[in-house]
């Protein structure tokens, strides 16, 4: 399909005066066609269409909404052009993108299944008791309903799974919200292809055209206008701390504040406890290198700091890790801006007195291919504790090993950490028992705690928590991965003393949808 | 027990230089003793104690925490001094306060039962699949954990049920959070008595003293310092829009924003549909008067506007209502500031061209008794739509009847409403069918929709939703009444590949707590 470079608003394509072009980071070549940047008026149009469509869309049955999500999934699963273009625009290898396509399709189908099942609405029924003293008890029934039109901001690092038809869009559409999506300018072509798929799926399954709109924008003012638009009811975002915080601040300063679900950077500390360090330091070193360099380190869950106790085992571990990092081939980053940030961040770390460069990819990085090498730094706990600049995420394939002189020193570092998406412990079971205090400290800092694994590779399932205390996200009560991501786009409503016929099916006595509910305090699937 | 007038921090009582005294609004007399206003240093001490206590408190078993809540409930249920003092400080009748005590005790016991039951933690388990391609599936397990120390701001209008040991405190303590509570200066003596009960219950059930602290303050700077304190993890508040928004803004502008659950004013529109107006206008008029004047109109769910179609039935309704309002005796408000606001608000409404005073309590209000009379205004839809000042809540026993010339005009008013806690429809079942569009509009505006009832009197149960879109609250996804209120003080954490012994009981394969969980996508109570 030839790309048109236009914005997509309520099923219509719109141009503007101002354009930009995508760049293939692996060649530094500009790609065709030029893409039109949305205007403020187009933001308004898209939001108004989303509002008009919401009235119709939220009245669709869960089965109809599921069919819409399934249609998107089916079309993406066979669209190789999408994967090709995402590769050209991101420099990510095709195998990785095929995997990411599988994940994208899987997410859409997971949410389709979730809403067909229907129990996610958390239905609760308390029957009336007219005889209760001193006052009769009314009949009350509660379930989740969609928030309204929402704005989603696509991420750069997952051009499929956290972008146009990614997890945020899938969960918002599943909840019954309509979506206005701002593309990431790193992959506008892949965005257009995915948006066209959504628009076509909407048409073929009878959804209103305004259910999904897509705007290209590089201008900060467009992003803020979306968040500030009176009709916007919530915001989903994956990206930098600076970007996420700006959207949060804009939303909080509205006359009517709205929630912002920003999943931002994270440091993802990895603690190697003494037993594991002695038993299998070499194996952990190899796993660490694989995790740090995976996808050129461009994951929110990339392990940015590794901690262990000083001693012979740690020295051996670091030697193994160094040997492994040296062999890591340089790799292409998503765009030159990220490469520049990575190099600047690495230079900042290197400059700190007490930090040494343990290893760097030995093969030189190619500037024309927007490549960077892997980097392994090391320092001691005292330096790390005293240098706030070492606590900033360096987005890319770099990590720093911090050696502490005692468990207490490691606990002190843990206690001083800001919020993170993850923390990891490598240890024997005895290590874990001996470090209960460290575990208790880390529980307060993160959304996910791993044992003997690596944080990269986030499983998509009901029990996943991809979130964490600020600055990992702006709302630690939510997740952007897994079935619970749908909860971000819904709120409860209670119907009091409503006649059966006027209640949503989910709340009728007969339970026609067969969902799990809490009825008079008891969890039940069927009545009787 | 003689009152000491001191702040209570981690079990110790502390004085300050500055004091104030409570006033009995029914007599305008100052009450003994003077109460000490907390200092900024005391805010810091209380939060640090809450943090230290949190580490210990969150490790307590649900059974131990439940015993703590039960001990508070038991002591409150028999403490008549608390009810007496609350009566002196609020002017509320003893019968009402005894009912409120019952509600307070009921809430504490409801949360005790909820955490003993344990299923509220929303446990989810997805087992590993080492054979999965292309990558092995890890074992992931997720549950809710408490946020940390929280700040609670007591309300004036429920000196027991939404104050010291009220719903916010009960749900936060149940979740495992420690609490620093700012009293409402309207009832400092009742606050001291309730706080002493909590402190004693903490001591007798082995809880750390810092689990609960109480600060008296009238100074805005103290409230902001609590919200801005680095250790504070969330805020609960019931009160005015102005107050709630100030706390929200303070929390949102922190270096690390925290959630604020502010339940603020609400307008609570009541729509009387034509069938009901014709069939039983008189009965609705009497119910309306009872709802508007209950507790001198000092409820968040007080019906501030009543809407119907113009015509004979409406005129008859208004005559009935007028006759009823005229007979309503003047009643004491909680404090003179509220009385002044009410009178100013009523004067503002009265001044609007096109608004008429239909009825006022015929007995004059006594200034010395801080009394106000009930007021019934009327206007037409065009005036209401064009006058923003009529859309501001008048807190107290006043309401305005708005007559529309068509259903469309009523829908237009509904569509223009801001967020509300409730909306009510009086109608026949046929009315409800004929007004589906109106219902659909109202669903987007409120947290609770009532049919043929009145919004005052909020049932405490799992299916209650006491919340709503801004400005009813700052977070429409939450409720401050009912079991779901506990969710405000918790967030999910995921454990990946943790050994059984290191997992919380809620997530162990054997399910020793016997709770409901989602295991590999299926809802289950017991394994096997």
- Domains, in order of start, for chain B: 7-15+33-264+479-488 (3.40.605.10), 269-451 (3.40.309.10)
Chain B residues in contact with A249 (beta carbon < 8 A): 252-253
CA B73 remoteness from chain centre: 19
Residue A378 host element (H or E): strand A375-380
Residue B266 near chain A (CB below 8 Å): no
Q: Does A337 touch chain B (CB under 8 A)?
A: no
Nearest-CB residue to A448 (from B145, B474, B494): B494
Cβ distance of A496 and B451 shorter than 8 Å: yes
Contact yes or no for B52/B69 (Cβ under 8 A)? no
In this structure, are residues B417 and B472 in contact, taking their beta carbons and an 8 Å threshold? no
Is the distance from CB of A421 to CB of A267 less than 8 angstroms?
no
Nearest chain A CA: its distance from B494 CA (Å): 4
Q: pLDDT tens for residues A341-382?
A: 999 999 999 999 999 999 999 999 999 999 999 999 999 999
Rounded to the nearest 5 percent, the helix, strand and coil shares of chain A are 45, 20, 40
CA B239 to chain CA centroid, Å, is: 8
Place of tokens 């975002």: A237
Asked if B386 reaches chain A (Cβ–Cβ under 8 Å), the answer is no
Local structure of B398: helix, strand or coil: strand
- Sort out which chain B residues have CB atoms less than 8 A from A469's CB and list them: 256, 491
Helix (H, G, I), strand (E, B) or coil at A162: coil
Chain A nearest C-alpha distance from B92 (Å): 18
Residue A43 pLDDT more than 90?
Answer: yes
Q: Is the pLDDT of residue A33 over 70?
A: yes
Q: Minimal Cα distance from A147: which residue of B?
A: B444
The three-state (H, E, C) secondary structure of B47-100, written as one string: HHHHHHHHHHHCCCCHHHHHHHHHHHHHHHHCCHHHHHHHHHHHCCCHHHHHHH
Give the gap in angstroms from C-alpha A126 to the nearest C-alpha of chain B. Answer: 6
- Measured between its terminal Cα atoms, the distance across chain A in Å is 55
- Residue A134's pLDDT is 86
Residues in chain B: 528
pLDDT score, position B392 = 87
Tens-place pLDDT, residues A402-453: 999 999 999 999 999 999 999 999 999 999 999 999 999 999 999 999 999 9
The residues of B assigned a catalytic role are: 263, 300
- Torsion over CA: A299, A381, A270, B53 (sign): negative
Query: What is the predicted pLDDT for the residue at B1?
Result: 75
pLDDT at B109 exceeding the cut of 50: yes
The percentage of residues in chain A with a pLDDT greater than 90, rounded to a whole number, is 96
Q: Does A125 touch chain B (CB under 8 A)?
A: yes
A474 min Cα distance to partner chain B (Å): 7
Residue A526 has pLDDT above 80, yes or no: no
Which residues in chain B have their CB less than 8 angstroms from residue A440's CB? 55, 59
A261: left (phi over 0), alpha (psi -120 to 50) or beta: beta
Q: What is the mean pLDDT of residues B379-408?
A: 96
* Contact yes or no for B295/B157 (Cβ under 8 A): yes
Range scoring the smallest mean pLDDT among A139-143, A164-168, A277-281, B134-138: B134-138
Task: Read off the pLDDT of residues A170-188 as tens digits, 9 standing for 90 and up.
Answer: 999 999 999 999 999 999 9
Residue with the two structure tokens 């001490």: B45
pLDDT at A212: 98
Residues of B in contact with A420 (CB under 8 A): none
Q: For chain B, give the mean pLDDT.
A: 97
Centroid of chain to Cα B264: 8
Q: What's the angle, vertex CA A270, arms to CA A287 and CA B507, rounded to 5?
A: 100
Return d(Cα A258, Cα B207) in angstroms, integer.
37
Segment B205-226 shows an average pLDDT of 97
pTM of this structure = 0.98
Measuring CA to CA, how many Å separate B208 from each of A368, B54, B168, B199? Answer: 62, 8, 19, 9
The rounded distance, in Å, linking the Cα atoms of A117 and A515 is 7
| CA gap A69, A202 in Å, rounded | 9
Q: How far is A452 from chain B (nearest CA, A)?
A: 7
Mutate to test the interface with A, among B469, B477, B498, B507 (most CBs of A within 10 A): B477
Residue A378, both tokens: 């090391």
Report the Cα B105 to chain-centroid distance in Å.
Answer: 16
Range 26-55 of B in CB contact (< 8 A) with A: 55
A463 and B521: CB-CB below 8 Å? no
3-state secondary structure of A386: helix
Residue A270, chain B, CB below 8 Å: the answer is: no
Q: Is A467 on the interface with B (CB under 8 A)?
A: yes
Instruction: Indicate if the pLDDT at residue B167 is higher than 80.
Output: yes
User: Is B528 in CB contact (< 8 Å) with chain A?
Assistant: no
Question: What is the enclosing helix (H) or strand (E) of B179?
Answer: strand B179-182
Chain B nearest-CA distance from A185, in A, is 28
| Distance (Å, whole) CA A475 – CA B414 | 31
Q: By percentage, how much of chain B surpasses pLDDT 90?
A: 96
Task: Return the biggest CA–CA distance within chain A.
Answer: 82
Q: Please report the pLDDT score of residue B422 as a whole number.
A: 98
Chain B CB contacts of A439 under 8 Å are 502
Dihedral angle sign, alpha carbons of residues A138, A139, A144, A148: negative
A345 touches chain B (CB under 8 A): no
Q: Would you state the pLDDT for residue B29?
A: 97
* Residues paired with residue B398 on neighbouring β-strands, in sequence order: B375
Residue of A nearest to B127 (CA): A463
Contact: A462, B138; criterion CB under 8 Å: no
A102, A447, A461, A463: best to mutate for the B interface, most B CBs within 10 A: A463
Instruction: Look at B502 and A447 and tell me if their CB atoms are within 8 Å.
Output: no
Q: How far apart are CA A165 and CA A17, in angstroms?
A: 27
Burial grade of B378 (CB within 10 A; 0-12, 13-18, 19 or more): buried
- Residue B338 burial by Cβ neighbours in a 10 Å radius (0-12, 13-18, 19+): buried
Mean pLDDT, all residues of chain A:
97
The interface residues of chain B toward chain A in range 505-524, judged by CB-CB distance below 8 A, are 516, 518, 521, 523
pLDDT tops 60 at residue B527:
no
Q: Does A469 touch chain B (CB under 8 A)?
A: yes
Task: Quick: pLDDT tens for B290-327.
Answer: 999 999 999 999 999 999 999 999 999 999 999 999 99
Cβ within 8 Å of A, B 387-446 = 418-419, 429, 432-433, 439-440, 443-444, 446
In the structure encoding, which two tokens stand for residue B408, read together? 């469309």
Cβ proximity of A7 and A35 under 8 Å = no
Two tokens, residue A102: 């599988």
Could you tell me if residue B514 is left (phi over 0), alpha (psi between -120 and 50 degrees) or otherwise beta? Answer: left
Edge-to-edge order in the sheet of strand A12-14: A12-14, A7-9, A212-215, A179-182, A150-153, A235-238, A260-263
Residue B145 tokens read as 């954990």
Query: What's the pLDDT at B489?
Result: 98
Q: Chain B partners of A453 at a C-beta cutoff of 8 Å?
A: 138, 496-497
Stretch B231-237: mean pLDDT:
98
Which long-range contacts link B18-22 to residues 24+ away (Cβ below 8 Å)?
Answer: B20/B185, B20/B188, B20/B216, B20/B218, B22/B88, B22/B89, B22/B185, B22/B186, B22/B187, B22/B188, B22/B189
Tell me which chain B residues have a C-beta less than 8 angstroms from the C-beta of A497: 450-453
The residue behind tokens 């809620």 is B506
Q: Do B257 and A252 touch (CB under 8 A)?
A: yes
pLDDT higher than threshold 90 for residue B494: yes
- Give the span between the Cα atoms of A330 and A320, in whole angstroms: 19
Q: Would you call the peptide bond into A247 cis, given omega within 30 degrees of 0 as the criterion? A: no
Residue A520 C-alpha, separation from nearest chain B C-alpha, in angstroms:
8
Is there a contact between A398 and A297 (Cβ–Cβ < 8 Å)? yes
Structure token digits, residue B110 = 């409801």
Give burial (CB, 10 Å; 0-12/13-18/19+) of B177.
buried
Six-digit token pair at B6? 């001191």
Q: What percent of chain A has pLDDT over 70?
A: 99
**Residues B491, A479: C-beta atoms closer than 8 Å:** no
Confidence of residue A528 (pLDDT cuts 50, 70, 90): very low
- For residue A527, is pLDDT > 70? no
Q: Please count the residue pairs, one from chain A and one from chain B, whose beta carbons lie less than 8 angstroms apart.
A: 203
Give the tens place of pLDDT for each residue, B20-62. 999 999 999 999 999 999 999 999 999 999 999 999 999 999 9
């Amino acid at each position: 399909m030839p790309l048109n470079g236009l914005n997509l608003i309520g099923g219509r394509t719109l141009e503007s005066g101002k354009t930009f072009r995508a760049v293939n980071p692996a060649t530094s070549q500009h790609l065709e066609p030029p893409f039109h940047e949305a205007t403020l008026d187009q933001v308004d149009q898209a939001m108004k269409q989303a509002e008009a469509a919401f009235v119709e869309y939220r009245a669709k049955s869960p089965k109809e909404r599921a069919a819409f999500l399934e249609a998107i999934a089916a079309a993406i699963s066979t669209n190789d052009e999408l994967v090709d273009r995402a590769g050209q625009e991101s420099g990510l290898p095709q195998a990785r993108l095929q995997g990411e396509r599988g994940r994208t399709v899987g997410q859409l189908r997971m949410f389709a299944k979730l809403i067909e099942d229907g129990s996610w609405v958390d239905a609760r029924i308390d029957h009336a008791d007219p005889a209760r003293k001193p006052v009769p008890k009314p009949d009350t029934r509660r379930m989740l309903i969609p928030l309204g039109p929402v704005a989603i901001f696509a991420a750069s690092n997952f051009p499929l799974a956290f972008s146009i038809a990614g997890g945020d869009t899938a969960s918002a559409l599943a909840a019954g919200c309509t979506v206005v999506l701002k593309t990431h300018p790193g992959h506008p072509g892949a965005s257009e292809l995915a948006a066209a798929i959504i628009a076509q799926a909407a048409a073929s399954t009878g959804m209103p055209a305004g259910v999904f709109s897509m705007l290209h924008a590089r201008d900060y003012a467009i992003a803020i206008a979306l968040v500030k638009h009176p009709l916007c009811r919530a915001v989903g975002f994956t990206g930098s701390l600076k970007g996420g915080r700006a959207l949060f601040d804009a939303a909080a300063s509205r006359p009517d504040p709205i929630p912002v679900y920003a999943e931002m950077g994270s440091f993802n500390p990895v603690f190697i406890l003494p037993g594991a360090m002695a038993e299998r330091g070499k194996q952990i070193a190899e796993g660490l290198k694989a995790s740090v360099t995976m996808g050129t380190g461009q994951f929110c869950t990339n392990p940015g700091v590794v901690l262990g106790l000083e001693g012979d085992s740690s020295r051996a571990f670091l030697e193994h890790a160094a040997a492994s990092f040296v062999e890591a081939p340089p790799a292409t980053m998503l765009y030159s801006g990220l490469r520049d940030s990575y190099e600047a961040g690495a230079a900042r770390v290197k400059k700190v007195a007490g930090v040494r460069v343990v290893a760097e990819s030995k093969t030189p990085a190619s500037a024309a291919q927007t490549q960077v090498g892997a980097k392994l730094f090391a320092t001691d706990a005292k330096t790390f504790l005293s240098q706030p600049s070492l606590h900033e995420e360096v987005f890319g394939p770099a990590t720093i090993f911090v050696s502490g002189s005692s468990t207490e020193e490691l606990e002190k570092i843990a206690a001083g950490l800001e919020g993170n998406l993850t923390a990891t412990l490598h240890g024997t079971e005895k290590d874990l028992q001996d470090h209960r205090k460290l575990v208790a400290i880390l529980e307060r800092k993160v959304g996910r705690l791993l044992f003997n694994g690596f944080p990269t590779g986030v499983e998509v399932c009901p029990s996943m928590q991809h979130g964490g205390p600020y600055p990992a996200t702006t709302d630690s009560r939510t997740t952007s991965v897994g079935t619970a991501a749908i909860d971000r786009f819904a709120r409860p409503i209670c119907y009091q003393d409503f006649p059966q016929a006027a209640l949503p099916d989910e709340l009728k006595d007969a339970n026609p949808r067969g969902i799990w509910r809490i009825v008079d305090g008891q969890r039940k699937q069927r009545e009787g």
